[in-house]
Amino acid sequence: MYSYGDYSVTQGVLATETFTFGSSKIKSIGFGCGEDNQGSGFEQASGLVGLGRGPLSLVSQLKEPKFSYCLQSIDDRKNSVLLLGSLPKTKNAKGAVTTPLLKNPMQPSFYFLDLQGISVGGTQLSIEESTFELGDNGSGGMIIDSGTTITYIEENAFDALKKEFVSQMDLPVDNSGSTGLDVCFSLESASGRIEVPKLVFHFRGGDLELPAENYMIGDVNLGVACLAMGSSSTGMSIFGNVQQQNLLVNHDLQKETITFVPTQCDRV
């Protein structure tokens, strides 16, 4: 039995199998067949691949310290890309941001990021410096997760983020709750392209400016545009996969760094 952070649970058989990558065969890779799968994590997938630090993840079993992925836009039906082995050459790539990966002995399977602040439309959120710090007791911090859909940030920081977007968006707030997201705006009065404030994550080592489609999602049928982010009540923040769209995300576990490179993923 194995459980996930979103409370999804799978029960079944764990055995070993030979994995084939191109012409290379690798024996004795731990591989599970879920016979009873419960939770949202399994609703739109035929399987899950582990990329974390835990012993059962694919990258841990391959003992491969370098890997990358590039996630297509959420509306694009083309395949995303997973690269295992030497990293694509990204030195001096335009817009590339490299930041350290942190370890948390209390939650050893996660990749923690050193987030130092967030800006909306050029205004840095007024939040405590310690908001995204990893505590001595293992609490807090921000992890990056390709399996979590939207980004969740600490409650007080999210309240400040919400306030800033409401202040800067030239659209009325939609409180219908029709999408399940916390911050939505009505498109009824909008004519043409809507102006969306820039969103920047200030990581140690560089500032990652996201394209609008990586955080503002429009639904024409419902007539709303919503911020693809939510509040975390646990104190731990999560950098989700909507925010990682069309970014080549390079993990280097030898140097303990992660690099974000703006990329058209269908060209990788």
Residue bearing the bigger pLDDT, 40 or 205: 205
pTM of the model: 0.92
The pLDDT, as a whole number, for residue 118 is 97
Residue whose token pair is 């916390």: 182
The pLDDT, as a whole number, for residue 189 is 77
- Contact yes or no for 164/129 (Cβ under 8 A): no
The predicted-structure confidence for 82-132, as pLDDT tens digits, reads as follows 999 877 776 668 889 999 999 999 999 999 999 999 999 999 999 998 999
Q: Give all strands (DSSP E) within 103-189, no chain letters.
A: 112-113, 115-120, 123-124, 142-144, 151-154, 184-186
Task: Check whether 196 has a pLDDT greater than 90.
Answer: yes
Q: What's the chain's Rg over C-alpha atoms?
A: 19
Task: Give the confidence band of 2 by pLDDT, cuts at 50, 70, 90.
Answer: confident
Mean pLDDT confidence for 43-70: 90
Task: Check whether 181 has a pLDDT greater than 80.
Answer: yes
* Token reading at 189: 């009065």
The predicted-structure confidence for 215-258, as pLDDT tens digits, reads as follows 999 888 899 999 999 999 899 999 999 999 999 999 999 999 99
The pLDDT, as a whole number, for residue 92 is 65
Please give the full DSSP string across 27-42, using - where no structure is assigned. Answer: EEEEEEEEEEEESGGG
Domains and CATH numbers, the chain: 1-48 (no CATH), 66-267 (2.40.70.10)
The predicted-structure confidence for 167-176, as pLDDT tens digits, reads as follows 999 899 999 8
The pLDDT, as a whole number, for residue 5 is 66
